[in-house]
Amino acid sequence: MAGHAKHDYHIIEPSIWPFVAAVSAFVMLFGSVLWMKGGTPLLTIAGLAGVLFVMYSWWAEVVREAHAGDHTPVVYVGLRYGFILFIISEVMFFVAWFWAYFRYALFVPSETTDTSHGIGFAEGGMFPPEGIHAVDPLGLPLVNTLILLLSGCTLTAAHHYLVEMREGGEEPDPKRQQVFWALALTTALGAIFLVMQAIEYVEAYHHDLTLQSTFYGAAFFMATGFHGMHVLIGTIFLAICLIRVNKGHFTAEKHIGFEAAAWYWHFVDVVWLFLFFVIYVGSVGFFSYGH
């Protein structure tokens, strides 16, 4: 245990969670392949359930270690660096989607390619392809942009209230309530964003913009859809922090879990700004040509 160690590192006990996580992820991937080939989604659901169970159990252990005093200053720095590296990997994930979008937005093949598999290139050098109804950026996408920008402000306010909380005392600290409500508002805004994006997708499908609508449709739904998945994960992350704030887990000096959630949410905000100006505005403006 950290109390008996003569160094600043936390030597963890043997854990089964890495093994269970690997098996669950494999089952989910293998099941997804079978599902896409016409099988049932049972293996995918089972694998996903396993992954979610590992996430809950493993991170619950990390929280218990923090309360036990195992998170020394050196461990604290390691957690910070680890999460920063995770966000960098997420940045590169979205760089791949932007790279693909720019590749076909700026260099559209003029010839018609085979579309028997549902996805082909634009015809005649047009982008978006002829017959594709690009989503109006001044509609729901603009509303969602304002929602995410506002959520970034409320989350920053919650962080400021958190670092201003006092320790101890007989009376309840009003700053803790301010943290709670600012964080609750941020979580609600994340949920509203997801509802608005679902409505946007329904409207897009009514205008025949689908995953099968040439490369443009595939790029649009994959890039914005994966971002929506990140918003969902971030909203759950914030909701867990909200529960922990209510339980008094965070202090003004130690709140790495809150910081990680805030970094992740701000990352999601920045990615959406790029998506809005490149994919939404660009599709009806700078990258729209040939018509």
The model's pTM is 0.82
Q: What is the pLDDT of residue 149?
A: 94
Domain 73-284 classified CATH 1.20.1050.10?
A: no
Distance, CA of 260 to CA of 83 (rounded, Å): 7
Distance, CA of 51 to CA of 70 (rounded, Å): 25
Domain residue ranges in the chain: 1-71, 73-284
3-class DSSP state of 210: coil
- Which residue, 267, 283, 289, is CA-closest to 139? 283
User: Using CB atoms within 10 A of its CB, is residue 73 exposed (0-12), middle (13-18) or buried (19+)?
Assistant: exposed
Q: What is the pLDDT of residue 119?
A: 44
Dihedral angle sign, alpha carbons of residues 119, 125, 130, 134: positive
168: left (phi over 0), alpha (psi -120 to 50) or beta: left
Overall fold of domain 1-71:
Helix Hairpins (1.10.287)
Helices marked H in 13-72 — which ranges?
17-36, 42-67
- Which residue, 274, 267, 288, 291, is CA-closest to 136? 288
Q: What is the pLDDT of residue 120?
A: 45
> Residue-wise pLDDT tens for the chain (291 aa)?
444 556 677 777 888 989 999 999 999 999 999 998 888 899 999 999 999 999 899 888 888 887 777 777 888 888 889 999 999 999 999 999 888 888 777 776 554 444 444 444 444 456 676 677 778 888 899 999 999 999 999 999 999 998 887 665 445 677 788 999 999 999 999 999 999 999 999 988 888 777 776 777 788 888 899 999 999 999 999 999 999 888 888 887 788 889 999 999 999 999 999 999 988 887 766 555 554
Q: What is the pLDDT of residue 291?
A: 46
Task: Count the residues in the chain.
Answer: 291
Q: What is the pLDDT of residue 125?
A: 58
